[in-house]
Chains A and B, each alone.
Chain A
Amino acid sequence: MMSLTSYLVLAALLFLLGVFGVIERRNLVGLMISIELMLNSASINFMAFNHFLFPGTVTGQIMTLFVIGLAAAEATLFLAIVFAVYRHYRSINVEQVDHLRG
C-alpha cells in the first residue's frame, strides 16, 4: 500500500525534473515537455491529497481535470508558436532564437 508521502515525493521529483528541464533544455519541444511535467506533478499532488486526506470530496479531482484541459490548450498554443518560430528561424533551438538583448 503506497502512502501519501511516496506520492508527494514522486510529485516533488517530477516537479524538480521539470524545473531542471526548463533551465537546461535547448529545444522548444523539450521545454514544453518539461513544463508539462511540472503541471502533471501538481496534478499528482491534487489527486494524492484528495485521496488520502480528504476522501469523499472531489475538489482535487476537479482541479486535476481543469489542469489537464488547460494543459492541452497550452500545448496547442505552444505548438502553433513553435511552428511560427520554425518558419522564421528554420530551427527550434532556443540558442538560435535569440536576437533580443538587454
Chain B
Amino acid sequence: MMMQMLPEFAMLGALLLMFVLTLSNSLSEKSARAATLILAALVAVAAWAAMSQQGELFSNSYRLDPYSQFFKFLMAVGLFANAIFGWPLRSIPKQQRTEYYFLFFAAGLGMMLLASAFSFLVLYVAMELLSYSMYTLVGMRRQRTESIESSVKYLIIGASASAIGLFGVSYIYGATGSLNFGTVASQLASSSARSALLLPGLVLVLSSFLFKLAAFPFHAWAPDAYESSASPVAMFLASVSKLAGIAVLFRLVYLVKPYLPEFETVIGLLALASMTFGNFVAFRQKSVKRLFAYSSIAQAGYLMLGMIGFGASAPEAVVFYSVIYLLMNLVVFSVVLELEREGEDPQMASFQGLYRRNALMAMALLVALFSLAGVPPLAGFFGKWLLFSSAATAGHVWFVVLAILNSVVSLYYYLFLVKAAYYGEVPEGAVIGSRGGPRLAVLIVTIAITFLGIYPRILTEYIGSLNLPKTMLP
C-alpha cells in the first residue's frame, strides 16, 4: 500500500513538514519557498513513479487506475508550477507566508484524494479538506477587507453546497445501501423499486460539484474570490483546484451516464448556460482577475460539454483539455502577477503597452489567450475540437454549434486584452516586470502550448495508451 499510495504519502509528508516549519518563527520566506519547491518536485516524482499503479484500496472505496494516477501527476506538476509562478507573495502578510505553503499542500492532498475517490465517504472527506484549505487561502490577503469578505462568501456558499451534496448522498445511500460509486452505478443498471430516491440524490450531488467547478448556476463565489484573493491564490483556484473538480465530476458522470440518458441533456444544458453566462458577463469586466474568473466559468462549460460525449472519445477529450487548461491558466495568471503592483490588482489599463515593456510576457499572454479562445494552431484549439467532437458524436450537434458560437464571442474580449498589450500606449509609472526566475518557466509553458497545438499526437497517443474508457469502469 505504501508503494501504491506513494504520491499521497509524499504529499502528506510535505504537508506535515511544512506544518512543523510554520511553528518555527525563524524560518525566512526564501527558505520556506525553497522547501516548498523541493517538496513539490518530490511529490511530482512520486506521482510519476506511481503512474502505473492499479488497485482498489480500503474495501473498494479508493480506486487507483490510470485515470486517477494521471490526474495525480498532473496535479503534482500543477502544484510545482504554482510554487514557481505564484511568487512573490506580496499581498500575503509576512508572518503568514509559511502558512500559505502549508495550506497549499493541504489543498494538494485533498485534490489527490479526490482524484481517486470511489466512494461518497472518501469524496466528502477529500472535498472538505480541499475546501477548508481554499477558504483559508482566499481570506489570507489581510491588507484588503474585501479578501475576508469574499472568504466568508465563499465559505457560506461552499458549505451550503457540500451540505446539499451530502443530503443528496444520504438519498443515494437510502436507494442503494452503499456509498460505493460502482455499486450505485450497477444499481442504476437494474432499476429497482427504490430508485425513486436515486435521481433526486444524484441531482443534489451534481449541484455540489457544479459549485466546485464554479459552473452556472453555482458560480457566484468565483469572481469575488478571484478578485479579492492574493494573485497566487487566484492562480491556484483557477488552475489546479479546478482539476480536482473536473476529475471527480467526470468519474461520476462517466459511471452514471450509460444508465441515465436524461443526465446527458441536463449536463449539456448546464454546460451551455455556463459558457454563455461566463462569456457574456466577462465582456463588462474592468478588473482582469474578475474577467478571468468569468472566463474560467465559460471554460468549465466547455469541459462539461466534452463530458457528455460518447464512448471512448469523452475521457480522452476531458483529460487532454485538463492538461491544456492547466498550462493556459498558469501563463495567464503569471502575467497578471507580473503586472500586479503593491497591494493592487491589475486592471485592463495595466495591460496597456505591455509589449513595449516586456515583450516575452506580451507574447506569452497572446499565445495563452488565443489558446483559451481556441485559435488554431494552438493547443486550446485542438483541445476544444476534441471536446466538441466528443459531444457531437453523442448526437448533441446543437450544443456544439452553440458552443462554437460561444468561442467566437470569447475571442472578442480576449482580443481586447491583446490589443491593449500590443497597441496601447505605455501608461505613466507603469510597472516594468523584473522578476528573473519565472520568465524561463513562462517561456517553457508557452512553447508547450504552441507545440501541443501543432503535435497534439504526443499527448493524445499517451492518453490513448492509458486505455481510459476500459480502465475507468469497475
Question: Which A residues are within 8 Å of any B CB, using their own CB?
Answer: 8, 11, 15, 18-19, 22, 28, 31, 35, 38-39, 41-43, 45-46, 49, 53-54, 57, 59-60, 62-63, 66-67, 70, 73-74, 77-78, 81-82, 84-85, 88-89, 97-100, 102
Interface residues in B377-420 (C-beta closer than 8 Å to A):
none
- Return the chain B residue nearest A21 by Cβ: B160
> B179 near A: Cβ within 8 Å?
yes
How far is A89 from B322 in the complex, measured between Cα atoms in Å?
A: 40
How far is A77 from B437 in the complex, measured between Cα atoms in Å?
A: 35
Nearest Cβ on chain A to B178's Cβ, whole angstroms: 7
Q: Are B156 and A35 in contact (CB under 8 A)?
A: yes
CB-defined A-B contacts under 8 Å, sample of 30: A11-B167, A18-B163, A22-B156, A22-B160, A28-B152, A35-B156, A35-B160, A38-B160, A42-B163, A42-B166, A45-B174, A49-B177, A54-B177, A59-B173, A59-B178, A60-B173, A63-B121, A63-B124, A63-B169, A67-B166, A73-B128, A74-B128, A74-B159, A77-B135, A77-B136, A77-B155, A97-B149, A97-B152, A99-B146, A102-B290
Nearest Cβ on chain B to A63's Cβ, whole angstroms: 6
How far is A18 from B166 in the complex, measured between Cα atoms in Å?
A: 13
Interface centre among A22, A77, A82, A88 (most CB of B within 10 A): A77
> B139 near A: Cβ within 8 Å?
yes
Query: Inside 8 A of B11's CB, which chain A residues have their CB?
Result: none
How far is A74 from B154 in the complex, measured between Cα atoms in Å?
A: 13
How far is A78 from B139 in the complex, measured between Cα atoms in Å?
A: 11
Q: Are B148 and A78 in contact (CB under 8 A)?
A: no
Mask of B137-169 contacts with A, CB within 8 angstroms, 1/0: 001000001101111110110011001101101
Query: Inside 8 A of A60's CB, which chain B residues have their CB?
Result: 173
Q: Are B177 and A88 in contact (CB under 8 A)?
A: no
- Return the chain B residue nearest A88 by Cβ: B145
Q: Are B223 and A102 in contact (CB under 8 A)?
A: yes
Given A70-B125, A73-B128, A63 and B163 contact (CB-CB distance below 8 Å) = no
Nearest Cβ on chain A to B53's Cβ, whole angstroms: 26
How far is A18 from B119 in the complex, measured between Cα atoms in Å?
A: 26
> B132 near A: Cβ within 8 Å?
yes
> B285 near A: Cβ within 8 Å?
yes
Q: Are A81 and B166 in contact (CB under 8 A)?
A: no
Given contacts A38-B160, A67-B124, A88-B149, 12 further A-B contacts (CB under 8 A): A41-B167, A43-B170, A46-B173, A49-B177, A57-B177, A63-B121, A70-B128, A84-B139, A84-B151, A89-B145, A98-B149, A100-B153
> B116 near A: Cβ within 8 Å?
no
> B227 near A: Cβ within 8 Å?
yes
> B65 near A: Cβ within 8 Å?
no
How far is A42 from B120 in the complex, measured between Cα atoms in Å?
A: 13
> B274 near A: Cβ within 8 Å?
no
Nearest Cβ on chain A to B179's Cβ, whole angstroms: 6
Interface residues in B95-144 (C-beta closer than 8 Å to A):
120-121, 124-125, 128, 132, 135-136, 139
Nearest Cβ on chain B to A68's Cβ, whole angstroms: 12
Query: Inside 8 A of B179's CB, which chain A residues have their CB?
Result: 59, 63
